[in-house]
Structure 1
């Protein structure tokens, strides 16, 4: 009789996990769990006992506590730790599961977990660096948009009514700005105009999402990212750092290189780099070098190619890949600082040009009118 409620409770827990009732663990939560489990195992505690300790540390009702309870049950039922984790792909991704599997096979699970924690921490730092580089331009562009909407909605209409009273022909730039102002005001007074704009924006977003679902569209978008002016070099450095660190961590943990390449291809997040990884995969299967496909991709610079080549020849490929990633992490810091120093004056000039154009467009008719008044007595 007690089995039925227990089964119902377990089903409810799984239902909550799928629907998203309990809070999903963050990257920081998962990194902390991995680091703590590695420490417990290194201290000599059995896996199940370590998992139970960490389960009890999780707040009641959280997704991580529910998952760990079920992982413990699966392991006690005779399954491996990696098999238990594989049931929750939204929390423990392919990279995590395969590294744990390799650690179990090699009897070095605590070492692999330490590497996973290091990898997650460095990946998180890298993500924060990229976000910091993008925050400033987004803020400035948002301010520029607010300023423009304010000027078009409240300032330009006052000038427009004054020009209308004068009944004079306006310069093209002034008339264009007044027409744009009328359109912006119409968005707030005529719902059908706003509906059209929203429909156009939604249509563009849906078309963009559709393109990203197609291989050709995704490849074209990712190719633009790595070749884009200003941001392209930073994106490339981030992708190279992600590729080398992920592959190096997997290989050093005992994951076979072909399987590791498959995992990295899915985790790298760029179709151009994924294509290069496919070429590397095929090259290794045919007994050829790793470096030739990387060189042909145009993504990896000669320094990276040279270091990977040396690592392949000396049997230290995993260590060399991680070293490349460390070097690129430092390069990314420098690139973010340089990008910020370039963008600050550019965006300020951009904002000044927008406001300046509006001011000039509004004062051109006034100057013409004043000039006409000044020449009146002479006539």
Structure 2
């Protein structure tokens, strides 16, 4: 059976004014599906809304790979505990402080409430949920094993993240040694080789090719030392 997914309207940005329970004036911004949802969210936070103005469409929500892994693990645990899918998503959305992830989870909960399959709801966020993730979730939905599939996905994602962290740690030392070697070489080319160049110029004799190459390299580094230093600094930051 084919499911037709109706794309939701983009979420909207609002600026609001209001008062907290002690009566202190507050103002801020909020992202919600519509003005009613924005007011309801603010009421849940104890804000008495006195003004609400729409600013326009909100940018698409973003979530990191670690956020998606955490969501997958939490959702698997809640479903195994017997919670319905929409309720589990609402519970996760209410307990996370990550703005982009919260928006994604609330959108998924709205889709489930409207009768949209979970895998189809995930397809509305392709940057957060890859094709393989969505396909496995679809299999879990059809087979009735969604909690087990989500738990397996969380295991695989956590294992992959751990392997990436170990790889970065293993590469950190040789990269730092390489950068240190480049820095020492640059220091010699800038500070030491020009002194020898002055001495060699005083001899007035023809220099061998390797020596001429080193002197030319030194001239180039001295001439472009600012871009060279910037490149080394960027490489250090990236490493």
TM-score by length of 2: 0.68
Q: Name the counterpart of 2:67.
A: 29
Q: Sort the Cα spacing of 1:28 and 1:142 in 2 relative to 1 into closer, same or farther, 3 A.
A: same
**2: distance between equivalents of 1:187 and 1:41?**
60
* Structure 2 residue matching 1:16: 3-state secondary structure: coil
1:85-115 per-residue CA deviation (whole Å, 9 max, x = no partner) reads 1100000111111111111101111111110
User: Which whole-Å CA distance do the structure 2 matches of 1:160 and 1:55 have between them?
Assistant: 68
Deviation at 1:172, TM superposition (A): 2.6
In structure 1, stretches of 5+ residues that fail to align are 199-379
Corresponding residue SS for 2:127: coil
What is the CA-CA distance between 1:132 and the residue it aligns to?
2.7
1:10 partnered with 2:33: yes
Tell me which of 110, 114, 128 is aligned to 2:147: 110
Instruction: Find the partner of 1:123 among 160, 169, 177.
Output: 160
Query: What does 1:13-162 align with in structure 2 at a 5 Å threshold?
Result: 15-17=58-60, 24-59=62-97, 62-162=99-199
The structural deviation recorded for 1:169 is 2.8
CA distance in 2, matches of 1:13, 1:39: 37
- 2:12–2:56 CA contact under 8 A, matched in 1: no
Q: Deviations over 1:228-279 (max 9, x none)?
A: xxxxxxxxxxxxxxxxxxxxxxxxxxxxxxxxxxxxxxxxxxxxxxxxxxxx
Residue 171 of structure 1: how far off its partner (Å): 2.9
Scaled by the length of structure 1, the TM-score of the pair is 0.44
Distance 2:190 2:69 in 1: 49
Aligned partners of 2:65 and 2:128 also within 8 Å: no
Aligned length, in residue pairs:
181
| In structure 1, C-alpha distance between the alignment counterparts of 2:67 and 2:80, rounded to whole Å | 20
5 Å-filtered alignment, 1:166-177, equals: 166-177=203-214
What's the offset of the Cα at 1:14? Answer: 6.5
Q: Deviations over 1:154-201 (max 9, x none)?
A: 110011112212323323322221121112222249xxxx7xxx9xxx
Higher relative contact order (CA 8 A, sep 6+): 1
Partner of 2:46: none
Q: Matched residues in 2 for 1:115 and 1:82: separation?
A: 16
Q: Distance in 1 between matches of 2:74 and 2:216?
A: 63
Alignment map for 1:1-379 (pairs within 5 Å):
9-10=32-33, 15-17=58-60, 24-59=62-97, 62-188=99-225
CA gap of 1:16–1:7, structure 2 versus 1, over 3 A, is closer
Q: Alignment RMSD, CA only?
A: 2.6
* Deviations, residues 26-67 of structure 1 (Å, cap 9, x unaligned): 22221121111111111111111110000011216x111011
- 1:333-374 deviation digits (Å, cap 9, x = unpaired): xxxxxxxxxxxxxxxxxxxxxxxxxxxxxxxxxxxxxxxxxx
Structure with greater proportional strand content: 2
